Structure 1
């Protein structure tokens, strides 16, 4: 169903299935990736002919060789998602990086830097792919975007940057940003909710509606990067 490309390496197709539903539909997969030679980006994509179940998306997670231990083993970091309407995506390995456009990510892939500390020669990354309800993935995407916005706002600007000065500026917490992004998504997606024919009393939102919200949200961020920091944002 999926494949992975790392610049300078052969295409990865050796996928392991971890979980499947009673109907036999696999839902969780992993790729094991040697940490050496060093890399900063990877591409995850759906293989031709692959179609995800309706109202689902493929959430992408990464476990680094130095991942913090958790109650169920080393932690996986959420990177993003792909779906039927966006069957591939470029992800940057590492944390605390400002948001880049896909074109910028593609350019940087051709110039991999070696500034990151080298992992042990035999260490490995584990890339996890989980087919999840689109609404769950949308919440994770919103929280990820909030974290990126918080990181970006904390970075000092250069003297040539255009800075919008606001009176009595106040610090916005990551939790507040996440709540505002999720609220923005909920308000937009609520109008597209439909009754689930398979479960009475439950509503579902088409994945296309989430993609439409995401496009609109990114466009607004580009036009007004600070709108989430204002109390009157909608």
Structure 2
């Protein structure tokens, strides 16, 4: 159902099936690489109302870090894996099964089929966490001191406002099932809004 591409290497379209909804690719770390492409094989479809999250485990860590997702409307994605740190969201089944069979030193990429809304929620958390961790690079205004109150927007408040912005956008579709591409559209618009008005997250509206 899924394939993986690394520049300069053959396409890998035979992941290990951990469960009916979870798959794992084992990647030798050499030759060095920094990006991977995960995609759905032509002619395959996910079960209705589902999408897929993509995780990575980089030795010596035993934890899987969420990279992103693919699904209807976004059947492939490029992920940066160079320099990832441990401690991100994990998937217990993949940790117990996939890593046990891996050659020591192999990087493991896991793909998990989950309900679309659950995937969207995980991606929102991932994106909001990335926004908080890189707020100064994106815009110092996201965490700047408010001149009127002398206060400072906390990471928790910023995350709540980002997720709230995503929820309002996705809720506008008027359906319980929202395509994964809709989340990607929201993130693109959100980044543009931050670029045009870096201070909008400092406001409660």
TM over 0.5: yes
Change (3 A) 1:182 1:29: same
Change (3 A) 1:84 1:146: same
TM-score (ref. length: structure 1)? 0.67
Structure 2 CA distance for aligned equivalents of residues 95 and 129 of structure 1 = 17
Q: Could you tell me how far 1:56 is from its partner in structure 2?
A: 1.7
Task: Map Cα deviations across residues 87-134 of structure 1 (whole Å, 9 max, x no partner).
Answer: 1111111348xxxxxxxxxxxxxxxxxxxxxxxx95111100011111
Q: Could you tell me how far 1:180 is from its partner in structure 2?
A: 1.8
Structure 2 residue corresponding to 1:181, chosen from 162, 166, 172: 162
**Which residue number corresponds to residue 125 of structure 2?**
143
**Which residue number corresponds to residue 193 of structure 2?**
220
Change (3 A) 1:56 1:222: farther
**Is this contact kept in 2: 1:60–1:129, CA < 8 A?**
yes
Aligned residues: 181
TM-align CA RMSD = 2.6
Unaligned runs of 5+ in 1: 21-26, 68-73, 97-120, 195-203
**Which residue number corresponds to residue 38 of structure 2?**
44
**Which residue number corresponds to residue 23 of structure 2?**
29
**Which residue number corresponds to residue 76 of structure 1?**
64
| 1:10 counterpart = 2:4 | no
Change (3 A) 1:30 1:141: same
Task: Map Cα deviations across residues 68-88 of structure 1 (whole Å, 9 max, x no partner).
Answer: xxxxxx210000011120111
Change (3 A) 1:55 1:223: farther
* Deviates further, 217-226 or 75-84: 217-226
| 1:206 counterpart = 2:188 | no
Structure 1 CA distance for aligned equivalents of residues 47 and 196 of structure 2 = 34
TM-score (ref. length: structure 2)? 0.76
Unaligned runs of 5+ in 2: 86-102
Structure 1 CA distance for aligned equivalents of residues 17 and 166 of structure 2 = 32
**Is this contact kept in 2: 1:143–1:181, CA < 8 A?**
no
Structure 2 CA distance for aligned equivalents of residues 143 and 137 of structure 1 = 10
Structure 2 CA distance for aligned equivalents of residues 149 and 212 of structure 1 = 16
